[in-house]
Structure 1
Amino acid sequence: MGQLENLMQAAREGNLEDLRLQVEQIISMFQQGTEEPENLYDLAGMMMDYGYVQLADTLYEELLQLMPEEGQLKIDRAETLLEMGEEDEALLLLTSITPDEDEYVQALLSLADYYQMSGMSEAAVMKVKEALALMPEEPVLRFAYAELLLDGGKYVEAASLYSELNDEGVNDIGGIRIVSRLAETYSAGAAYEEAIPYYEQLLKDLSAPDDLFGAAFAYFQADQPKRSTQLMEQLLELDPDYFSAYMLAGQSFARLGDDEKAYELFVRGITRDEYDKELRLAAGKSALKLGKTDEAEEHLSEALALDPEYIDALIALASLYNEQEKDEELLSLLAETDEAQMDLPMLTAFKAYALERVEQFDDAYVSYSEAYVGMKDDPIFLDRYAHFLLEEGKRSEAIEIVKQLVAIEHHDEWDAFLELSNDEEV
């Protein structure tokens, strides 16, 4: 085609008007018989490569008028129609391809792709199974079936198919490495020990960030945190903005007992992603383990600032305030988050403790009573509740709470109390 270079230049420059005019001119030449169908077909593929889907569709439509029964053209045009959202017309083209045509299996795969993307997984599986029945040894079809199984959470079956392909020497399909899929599938199915060798095989060739993270996660889940920390440090050196690596790295060091290093990594992660509430919670808990209560309070408060209904951070901060007897801060926190914590008896118990300490005894009694509904099996709560009731002169109520407490665990003080109470009744 004499105009090919001009077309490519217009495509690269994004000159849509010039490109459209040139395509219309080539179609006119084709209609006059001075341009070959093969050239139109190649041009349509080039338009797709450059993202000019509408122009590609126009070219495929023109070719189909000349060759209406050409299966490959139907498939190609169906692809452009799907890109443009013209699903009904695309499906008509694909389903018009009959089993006796060479392109039938390809059409089945195109239909499977469409159904999968549309959330109709069962229909997608049916199409791939039909294709497999026609060509049971075809690696591409077996791979496509394994992909559907993986997406559907059927990890054992998917791993079996990937393993067969791997054993047959199939290294990759469509740019996807089989060992990568094996690593991913075993890991997704929580078979981390089985996933590790495949991750290591991937890392021998190229230490890609996703592979490093996947391998580190598998090692962490397999309770091998030392190797996990090595991989995470390698990943963060390679890509300091791989945000999720900071959490996993910190968790791995914490499991090794290196709380200082864990805290350092959580804080480093926060500097990279200041909107990650989970990193702030992790940093807060890590700071508490190190006795850095001021830093812990700051991290947990910031986590709640990002998400006022972040229950884990709310519990951690309320627990810290309760331990430090910062009753004003505790009551203020619980008042601000009353709706979020209404179904959490532990927080209601913290409220009761704080109200008791600030001598708001009537309100404390209400909160103790509310917390009791969900805390009746907690011996620490029952112990405090019983003492409170006795201080308030509610002896008969205290006796019932103490009976529950001693039924859970032996307690010399309360055993003696109950014995004395029985003697008094006699």
Structure 2
Amino acid sequence: MTVSRPAWAIAVACLLGGIALLYALLSNRATILITSAPPGAMVSVNDRYAGLTPVTVPDLPPGKHLVKLTKHAYAPQSRAVDVARGRSEVHFELRSEARGKLKVTSEPSEAEVYLDGRLVGATPITLSVLESGSHDVRVQKDHFIPWQASVAVADAEKALHAPLKAKMEDYYLAAIQSNPRDLSNYSELCHYYVTQGRWDDAMNMLQKAIALAASPEQRSSDDLRRFRQEIEKIYFGQFDYGGLDAVKELRPKLEAALESAIESNPRNLQCYEILSSVYKRTGRPEKAFEVFLRGIKALPADAELRVLLGKEYQKRRRNAEAVECFKQALALNPASFDAHYFLAQSYRDLGQRREALDELQVALKHCPDSASRMNTYVSLATVQNYLGQYREAIESWKAAIRLQPYKEV
């Protein structure tokens, strides 16, 4: 008789469960089965990770034990469970975390809605907002001036109405003359020219915007993020300005405008990043990498940029070149966690596990947060296991598990 794989797995599970139960009954120990609805919650018993529900936790002393459950989008729960000798069961009904509601409407309707910079739909729309507090809302539609506001969302429903005003060329030209450092006006006027089929005007305005985007005050601004989104929307035809043929005709003009901007200002990192992204998304990864590499070479020595270049080499399995980039980054910034961590990855992939071990141990001293520390311990355990350092690997795994995030009820 042939036993199917699922049947075999069930039989083994039943056998193991029976052995655990028999052990619990014959000894002065307890076994507890922890379940939840929905399943898949992270379980800790006495602050030690036990697995995901449903999970059986064996070999517990009889008495009270603290059981905690956490699951994304559900309220964490904890319970002191009194277990007796033998087998016990405990079940948790998980409750969804309270979400605030945000209803967004506009005049006219069918306008794009962005919540904290992310496109979430079109008006009218009701959003479930997981985190209470202040959120940025932006409403925009072709041929209208974007509307934006900051709104505080609590557990109740809140309504926002965006009365959109039609935009005109004169409006944006006047705005640019009034405030020539405002990147959003250049971006909006470029968008307007594209919708009107005035592509040469659009590319001219785009180059002015790119030049402004290179300035230090723009490097982390919301306007810069929206400007880059606008370029991608034009390039990929994400709004109506003439159909597929128009998109195909405009793409080379946009690429030429970006290349021209690079020639005018070789140290404008934004141009390299945007052009590289465009090439990558249109199935030209090597051309994207060539542009990225050109940008790195044109810019002054910078540790973060060397790390980025090293990661690009890693993606192409060119680990020897990646190692050199990470070493250059460490020469510029010996305390760079990313440089140590990714250098260890390249050493590991090259089979240089002793060197990988050394870099991971240094990386632990420079971890910026608990998540990176946990990942470093996991990588460290893997390398230690390769090297036959099994006791050390177990300790690293334990350290990683202790860093699993838990929420107190």
Q: TM-score range by the shorter chain?
A: 0.3 to 0.5
TM-score (norm 2): 0.43
Q: Comparing both structures, which one devotes a greater share of its residues to strand?
A: 2
Q: Which has the higher contact order (CA 8 A, sep 6+)?
A: 2
TM-score (norm 1): 0.41
Q: Comparing both structures, which one devotes a greater share of its residues to helix?
A: 1
